[in-house]
Amino acid sequence: MNKKIKKNLIALIPARSGSKRIKHKNIVNFYGHPLIAYTINSAIKSKLFKKIIVLTDSIKYSKIAKHYGAEVPFIRSKKISSKNSPDYDWLNLVFKFYKKKKDKFLSLLYFKTNQSV
């Protein structure tokens, strides 16, 4: 892949802690690792991304994500982390955060933990 493109791609992995049907499904143990670890690992192994970012409302999830190699720039508020919160809310927060830091990216890829590549 073109190095210039790689410098401008980020992976976003949302990991809300309030699962209703399967409690804490994003960190449930699946063959020795939390489910979110497989999503993070897939993004890392692809070697496509400048950054792999997990957006979560949980300090526990944040620690797990960092352990597996993702960045967690901030903890999402509960207000934008309910089951009815549109993705737009947290995506907008991410864009504003990186705009303030003057960190530019060309594109992003949105991974869902329970739909890993």
pLDDT, one tens digit per residue, over 68-89 is 999 999 898 777 777 777 777 8
Q: What is the mean pLDDT of the chain?
A: 82
Pairing of strands 29-30, 33-34: antiparallel
- Looking at residue 58, its pLDDT comes to 93
- Looking at residue 7, its pLDDT comes to 64
Q: Is the pTM of this model over 0.85?
A: no
- Looking at residue 117, its pLDDT comes to 41
Assess contact for 78 and 89: CB atoms under 8 A.
Answer: no
Q: Residue 6 phi/psi, 5° resolution?
A: -60, -40
Q: Please give the CATH superfamily to which domain 3-115 belongs.
A: Spore Coat Polysaccharide Biosynthesis Protein SpsA; Chain A (3.90.550.10)
Residue 13: both structure tokens together: 């992995």
Give me the residues paired with residue 52 across strands. 11
Map out the domains of the chain as residue ranges.
3-115
Q: How would DSSP label each residue in 7-42?
A: TTEEEEEEE-S--SSSTTGGG-EETTEEHHHHHHHH
57-68, pLDDT tens digit by residue?
A: 999 999 999 999
Regions of the chain with pLDDT less than 70: 1-7, 105-106, 108, 112-117
